[in-house]
Every structure is written in structure tokens, then in C-alpha cells.
Amino acid sequence: MSTPFTLLAISDLHYTGLARQTLQPAMTRGELARILLKKVFLRLEHLNVQPDLIVILGDLIADGKDREAAHDLLALYSELTRISIPFLVIPGNHDQGCDQFNDLFDVTPGLHTFGEYGFIVYDDTFEESHTTLRSERALKLTETIAKENPGLSLIALQHAPIYPAIKSNYPYRPTNATEIMDSFQKSGVVLSLSGHYHKGQSLRINEGVYYHTVPSLVEEPYTFSLITLDGRKVEVQEHSLKLSFPNIIDLHCHTEHAYCATTVDTATALSLAKTLGVTMQCVSEHAFQLYFEKKYAMSGKWQKDPKEVQRIWETPSRNRMANYQRFAEKLRSPYTKIGLEVDLYDNGKLLLAPEDAEEDLWDFLIGAIHFIHDFIPGKTTQAEAEKLFLRDVEQLLHLPIKVLAHPFRFFAWSHLETPKHLYPVVADMLADAGVAAEINFHAYQSDADFIRTCIEKNVKIALASDAHAIQEVGEFIPHINLLKQAGVTPKMFPDVLFSFT
């Protein structure tokens, strides 16, 4: 009996970070490669998949001869070493010329064994004409490895695709691809994995050998492959980072102005969201973090300190709020709407200075409960917390908000039970107020039962990346899966999801 083995396969990142932006086709988004790699790892978390091995099939960078090529490779290397999954990285034709490639990735030609599976790496090189030829020595290497390792399931890794033939004047395949296929067949190779051909080639079998060409990660629809090996059985699932659903409005994305933000920045977020198919990208920042210095803001003490709130409001800049307003106004466009995430203070008042509450300043306000006045961690009981929560929800819904953010997150973050018996109560309150409920997966798990209850009561559902890190921008697969659990199909999105029309 063999043991199933999960392989994450990625190819052709063509990363240009510090390196010069070499001439690339318009569809190749090499400048986004590092972010897209981060997004792959985030998607795996949402899929609850932990691969046994990562393989990257060449062309990590756009130009191995660029003076900054080594630093761009280092940036990608850092992403791979941040996670606890072993990896094999092979060079492509664009990586040639960077002497540090082998020093960083240390993947020598030959056999690399992981469990019951052996991965063969070849020393194929490309000529200036982009042609490649596998040497006689490398052809014999496959057969030698097979003879010396009977029973080991072999997977061949190379940059250039081997099978099937590609109709093109560009020399994608090695000139001796037929001989390579023959060596695979004689040696009992289970799977041949390649990159280089950016469109990719779906899994197919020839004379008992499986072949798969992994599409480029940096060309639409930004695809990676999850491959399951089970002895001689091979299954491939291709996952795309680009959305293919209607009416995906991200109403809740943070900026570099947030204290709690990590790697998100607005310019990149807007470009990334549009690239990945988000219909409209909205920007919404925490009002309490704009008004107060970091330590005080994150303590929540302002909620019980109206004098300090008033003091800040009486200063012309209102700490950083005036600057954020100027910044946000520059972002407003048909694609981008601007707003604030607002809280309560002083027993039910809206934490928003009068000059910041003018109707034309913001396209929307999101109501949130991050702190609850009178709640004492470790002392307030579950029942008391539920009463306080309902009080604050009711107060928020009397204010001009369009969405209730992460509706029941307060309980999880306060180490209390999520009160599911309050789902219909809160849904009724939202319906009466005409306020949408938010689906949110940032450090929080939205519940399909609550969403289903809201939909039954005609409450609109708002999608929120709640992005604090750049890889969270445009990641809505968990939201869409939750909607499916709640009985909502993509055809229903225009009727169910929040929109500004």
C-alpha cells in the first residue's frame, strides 16, 4: 500500500522586484509574483491543505543577468523558508546568469527522495536561441536511478515541457523530447512535471507516464497546481487566484494608516484587487486608530474617556484623521469608494467628530464592536456579555452605518461562547435597520447558520477581505464557499450581496 503524497507545483514567476522592469508581455505580471506566492499559501490555509512538498519549475525571476537578480531570488527564497514545507526549486531559462541561484536553493541534479517518492532534477541548460537538449548522460541518469531504487515512485522535474507537442515557432520543448519520453517510459517514471509554456497543459498520459505542464502563476488566471500522488495514481487540481464571480464588492480593506495593518498598502491593493477580478474595491479605516496614538487607541480606554475624545477633536488635525481624509479623497473613483470603520464610545455615542461626519465625506460607514463599555474581561458573565452586546448592536443600528462588521467576533476574541441563539435576534435587528451583515475571515470564522438566517430575513450580505496584509486582498474563496453552505449560488449574488445601487 502506498501513502498519498500532496505536491504543490508552481511555475514561471518572472519576478521583478528590485530588478529592472525588463520588457515583458502585458499579460505577464511579474511585479506581483511575490504577492501571488503569498496568496497561494493563504489559499492553502483556506483549503486546509498542507502539502508534503513544494516544487517550483523555473523562471523565478525575469532576468538572471540583472544586477539585482540575486536580491529578487532572495525575496522569493524568504517566502519559501517562512513556511514549514520542504521545497525543490529548479532553474529556468530566465534564471540563467544568476550565480547565486544554486547557492540559495541548493538543488543539485539527481535524485531527491521524500517518503516513498523520488524527484529527479536535471541539469538542462538553454542556448541563446532558447533551445535545450537533454544530454546523453542525463538520459541515462533516469534509467540508473530507476535501477538503483526499485519500488520508488519517480517524478521527473524540468523547466521545458516534454509532452504533448506544442504548435509554435518558439522552441518550448527540448529538441530530443522523444528520447526523453522514451527514457521515462523505460524507467517507469510516474509523472513528468514542467513549466515554461505559460498556458500550461492539463494532465495526460502517454505509454504509462503522466505529463503535466504547470501554468504561469503570473498570467491570468494566476494558477497553481495541487497534485496528489498515490503510487502510480496521479490527480491534478488547478486552482486560480483570479475570481470568476459577479458582484464581488470588497467593502472592508484597510490601509497603511492602520496600526494593526502589516503589509497592506493601498496602491498595491487597488491594483491587485482589479487584477484578481474584484468588481469594486472599497477602503475603510478604523476611526479610533486615526484619532488616537497607538498604545492608547489599542487599549480601548477612549471608550470611557469623553474628555480625551473631545480634546483630540478640538485639535485641527484630530491626530491623523485630517490627513487620512485627504488621502482617501484622492482614492475615490468609480472603482474605489471610501469609508470608515466606526465604533461607539461614552455609552452609545458615535466616535466621529462633527466635521468628520459630514454626509459627503464618506461613501459608507461600517459599524463595529471592538470594545464594549462595561465589559470586564474575566468577570463579566456570558449572559451579561450577551445583553451588553445586544445593547451596542442596537445603538450602532440607530446610526448611519451600512454594514455591521464581523458581527459576533467580539465573543470569540473575549474567550466566550458564540451565542448562536442570538442569530435570529440580530438578523431581525439588521433587517429592521436596513443594514447588511458582513462575511469576514480575517482572524475570524463567519458562520453559515447566521448568514442563512440573515438571507431568510432579506438582510443583504457584505463581503469583506478586512485585509491587513497584502495577500488578503482579493481572497474571497472562503466567502464564496460559506455562501454555498448557506444555500447561495453565484447566480443569486446580485440579489443577495450588498451593492451601492
We report the CATH number of the domain holding residue 292 as 3.20.20.140
Tell whether 375 and 277 lie within a shared domain: yes
395 is a domain residue: yes
Give the domain extent around 140: 5-240
370 is a domain residue: yes
231 is a domain residue: yes
Tell whether 42 and 111 lie within a shared domain: yes
C-alpha cell at 243: 475570481
Tell whether 123 and 270 lie within a shared domain: no
Final residue before a domain boundary, out of 205, 222, 240: 240
Q: Please identify every stretch of the chain with a pLDDT value under 50, giving residue numbers as ranges.
A: none
Domain count, the chain: 2
- Number of C-beta neighbours around residue 159 at 10 A: 27
Tell whether 382 and 448 lie within a shared domain: yes
CATH number at residue 123: 3.60.21.10
Q: Helices 321-331 and 266-275 meet at what angle, rounded to 10?
A: 30
Tell whether 185 and 316 lie within a shared domain: no
pLDDT in tens, 351-367: 999 999 998 999 999 99
Tell whether 216 and 296 lie within a shared domain: no
Tell whether 328 and 392 lie within a shared domain: yes
Tell whether 296 and 210 lie within a shared domain: no
Q: With beta carbons less than 8 A apart as the criterion, state whether 194 and 158 touch.
A: yes
pLDDT in tens, 418-466: 999 999 999 999 999 999 999 999 988 899 999 999 999 999 999 999 9
DSSP assignment of 258-306 equals -TT-SS--HHHHHHHHHHTT-SEEEEEEEHHHHHS-HHHHHHTGGGG-H
383 is a domain residue: yes
Tell whether 269 and 361 lie within a shared domain: yes
Q: What is the pTM of this model?
A: 0.94
What's residue 1's pLDDT?
67
* 190-194-199-203 Cα dihedral, nearest 10 degrees: 0
235 is a domain residue: yes
Q: Residue 334: CB partners within 8 Å, gap ≥ 6?
A: none
501 is a domain residue: no
Tell whether 326 and 226 lie within a shared domain: no
What's residue 27's pLDDT?
86
What's residue 21's pLDDT?
75
In which residue are the cell numbers 538572471 written? Answer: 64
Tell whether 81 and 160 lie within a shared domain: yes
Tell whether 427 and 332 lie within a shared domain: yes
What's residue 47's pLDDT?
95
DSSP 253: B
